Structure 1
Amino acid sequence: MTFSIVARSDDGRTHGVAVASKFLAVGAVVPAAEAEVGALATQAYANLAYRPQGLALLRTGVAAADVVAGLVAADPGRAQRQVGVVGAEGDGATFTGGGCHDWAGGAAGPGWAAQGNILVGPEVVDAMRDAWLGAAAEPFPARLVAALGAGDRAGGDRRGRQSAALLVVTKGGGYGGGSDVLIDLRVDDHPDPVAELRRLLDIHGLLFGRSDPADLLDLDGPLAEEVAALLAATGHPPGGDGLDAALAAWAGVENLEERLVPGRIDPVVLSHLRLGAVRDQAHGAG
């Protein structure tokens, strides 16, 4: 009922799952991942017990292929199961039971596994594999979504489209560093869920992407003056607490606080501030 890719970043620190299906809220069922441990997808009459059991095995250092073997060996319903697993190192592994609805199958390699069932054909898995291998220069989350998109364009689930999800974990990668969940995006019911997932990932990157220190601009001179004027135009004029405090107040409203660096400004934040000032001025004029 589903096609998915589970993978590990080239540096081994980040793991994730991208999945799509003609199934309501597939992200609530299929993916599981733990930072620096591994990731898995359980699908085709999904056995949700595979998620904690598989991660527990990966946590002890069991190889992905052995995790898959252990999960399906203990499952009397294995003929109708499909699972993909990737660990902290080594090759990914995938399993498709003989009772899964056609077309069903998978492929795996170093740090990745792709699988699907009720697909238009093997070209869906082939497309995911090729897109994953061909997008090594892309950021890890975008690479996962690119692979999922390739499978979707190849035909995907032969019953149609409904939902998609992306789960990515890395140590301390969550909001404010308070969790390991870097990305948890779900499109539960949508006519074009993979495209919508890609749109949500773009928004996530804008709001929560980490600033590249090499791109940061010093908040002094003419730039500081411009930022102060822009903040004033958006209703956040700098006061006695200074420019950083006013910028933080505005960024908190816009959900851009993760991109703030004292005394400097991310070009992404600056662009958003400029657009916001123009928007607010236009609304005021109207």
Structure 2
Amino acid sequence: MKQFLLFAFIMISLTSGAQVYKLAEPLAHTYSIVARDSVTGEIGVAVQSHWFSVGSLAIYAHAGVGAVATQSFVNPSYGPNGLELMKQGMSAQNALDKLIAEDTGAPYRQVAFLDNTGGTAAYTGSLCIAEAGHITGKNFSVQANMMLKNTVWQAMAQAFKNTTGSLSKRMLAAMKAAEAEKGDIRGKQSAAILIVKSEATGNIWDDTLMDLRIEDHPNPIQELERLMDIHKAYEFMNKGDLATETGNTMAAETYYLKAQALYPDNLEMQFWYAINLLNNKNFEKATPILKRIYTANSNWKVLTKRLVASQLLKISESKLQTILSL
């Protein structure tokens, strides 16, 4: 019933343009960050809450447009409506002002907008549960409500500004800083991060750089960090696969090794690295790796044989039989 009421509320909001406070709205009290990388132009939003699957409710982003975090008594329509207004050319501030003015439940909202120029705007309603507040700056906004302490958003801002590296790394630093300040007064449950490109490619599947969710976990930020490392490892795997497709097996080997450094216990990464070694005629190095993999799971041996027909493994029949006898 609750999901039906929420769906009905969203549909009314999207079709009428008005935003009306409903008791059925989920209590996504939380902390979040919207941010932009000033060098690459990448746009991101991340969130953590003591609420199941907060990422499905609270964070939105479109390549070349901006990002939205909507929380407290969360009104999900701020996401698509805010992005549409910014896509039409409104600044983050003007878009947020418009939607707040139309929302009879505004005192219960906490919302942050970021546009593709790095402009930010945030709003913390007067009826948000303490401790609640936000800090905005060029290329970022941090916001939190129902925190144990009123130091959370300040710690997040400092962590983001003082951390170097990729946008995802800086955003994670802000989230970890919030937890270091004890975060949500109720504890922790779910987290999510979404990062998109600086410009839309016209292909939606190419526009998202990272989209990770921890739906229910005792340590969601810690688990999010683990998945972010795995995500990076698979980015190297993808680059290795592309290098293999073009016949650049030496480049593929470099990428596969970088992937394994981030995710050393993953058998599949080890397998494709070993296959690439075979394609590079480095049988001595590949043999012990494949033997270890085959011992752990004999299905990899079956797959090795199938790769020949797909021309992903170029090896003589005698060498193949030697490998399959391991």
Q: Is the 8 A contact 1:100 1:117 kept in 2?
A: yes
What aligned pairs does 1:49-198 form with structure 2 within 5 A after superposition? 49-135=77-163, 137-170=164-197, 178-198=205-225
| Aligned counterpart, 1:270 | 257
Does 2:56 correspond to 1:28? yes
Kept after mapping to 2: 8 A contact 1:208/1:258: no
Structure 2 length-normalised TM: 0.68
Where do 5+ consecutive residues of structure 1 fail to align?
A: 210-250
Aligned-residue offset at 1:178: 3.6
The equivalent residue for 1:282 is 292
State the shift of 1:208 in Å.
1.6
Alignment length (residue pairs)? 241
Q: Which runs of 5+ in 2 are unaligned?
A: 1-28, 261-267, 275-287, 297-326
More helix, by proportion: 2
TM value normalised by structure 1: 0.77
- Cα distance, 1:66–1:152 mapped onto 2, change above 3 Å: same
Secondary structure at the counterpart of residue 161 of structure 2: helix
Using a 3 Å threshold, how does the CA distance of structure 1 residues 107 and 172 change in structure 2: closer, same or farther? closer
The answer to whether the 8 Å contact 2:54/2:190 transfers is: yes
One-letter code aligned to 1:110: K
Contact 2:43 2:198 in 1 (8 A): no
Tell me how far apart the structure 2 counterparts of residues 173 and 197 of structure 1 sit (CA, whole Å).
26
Equivalent position amino acid for 2:192 in 1: A
Which structure would you say has the larger Rg?
2
> How many Å apart are 1:73 and its aligned residue?
0.7
CA 1:274–1:29 in structure 2 vs 1: closer, same or farther (change >3 Å)? Answer: closer
What secondary structure sits across from 1:103 in the alignment?
Answer: coil
Q: 1:249-264 to 2 correspondence within 5 Å?
A: 257=241, 262-263=247-248, 264=250
Partner of 1:203: 230
> 1:262, CA displacement in angstroms?
3.7
Cα displacement (A) at 1:85: 0.8
Distance in 2 between the 1:178 and 1:58 partners?
21
Q: Give the match's secondary structure for 1:29.
A: helix
Deviation, 1:42, is 0.4
Contact preservation (8 Å) 2:116, 2:198: no
SS in 1 for 2:218: coil
Conservation of the 8 A alpha-carbon contact between 2:63 and 2:200: no
CA contact (8 A) 1:5 1:112 kept: yes
**Aligned partners of 2:214 and 2:224 also within 8 Å:** yes
Name the structure 2 match of 1:233.
Answer: none
